[in-house]
Amino acid sequence: MQPAATTSFLDRLRAVGAQRYHDKHPFHQAMHAGALSRPQMRGWVANRYYYQKNIPVKDAAILSNLPDREKRRVWIQRIRNHDGTLEAGGGGLESWFALGRAVGLSEDELRSEAMVQPGTRFAVDAYVWFARSQPWLPAVASSLTELFAPELMAKRIEVLRDKYAWIDPAGLEYFRARLQLAPQDSDHALAWVLEAASDAASQEACIAALRFKCDVLWAILDATQLGYGSGSDLGR
């Protein structure tokens, strides 16, 4: 059982997600209502790709600041999970290319970043800089959006399968994999944050970092909606 002060800190971390996670964004709500057109879904996949490709970059930045090899041994697995390995290939980024193909985008189209909106690029680059420049504790805390991801991923699989029949279900493997990987990642990060954030100042820094990460995800959807509309703004 956590001490009362730690429990209060944990509750405050969870409250950030309840208040600010990007599942509440109008574009995301339109997606889950089945209201997005094919161009809008492609716009979302293309913009989110810019975030996806930078996940291992920000994780490498955090890795470089971790204070001991025990933590580095754990954290480096995130990079392997996303980039894959020379021996086994695969990885989350490869699964995102599969999602792109499932919505009608080639790997070359995603890699070109021609569909990436300026606001998306700005938000993601800011997140990478945050991970590179901040002390390890708030940088790790910023990753705790993973606490809120599994429920969203499960819902997203259901929505994309049931409300977007034109999307090849084979392209949904990224979300299926995150059902297992997100809890594993968040368990380690949360344990480190709860242990290391032992005073009010460090706890406030962690909460601010998590809010910032939620703002990054929100800004990506702002930019996507600005560039591609939402709901019935474009024809199917």
For the stretch 161-196, pLDDT in tens is 999 999 999 999 999 988 888 888 899 999 999 999
With a pLDDT cut of 70, the percent of the chain lying above it is: 94
Kindly report the average pLDDT of the chain as a whole number: 92
Q: What's residue 3's pLDDT? A: 46
Residue 228 is inside which H or E element, if any?
Answer: helix 200-228
Between 1 and 229, where is the model more confident? 229
> Which domains are delineated in the chain?
4-228 (1.20.910.10)
DSSP state for residue 89 in the 8-state scheme: B
Where is pLDDT greater, at 235 or 193? 193
How far, in Å, are 99, 183, 208, 227 from residue 168 at the CA level? 8, 26, 38, 24
Fill in the amino acid letter for 190.
Answer: L
Q: Give residue-wise pLDDT tens across range 53-62.
A: 999 999 999 9
Q: Which residues contact 233 (CB under 8 A, 6 or more apart)?
A: 37, 40
Q: Model pTM?
A: 0.92
Read off the pLDDT band of 232 (50, 70, 90).
Answer: low
Q: How many CB atoms lie within 10 A of CB 227?
A: 18
Nearest to 78 by CA among 104, 58, 48, 98: 58
Q: Which helix (H) or strand (E) holds 95?
A: helix 92-103
Largest CA distance in the chain: 54
Q: What is the pLDDT of residues 1-21, one digit of tens each?
A: 444 444 599 999 999 999 999
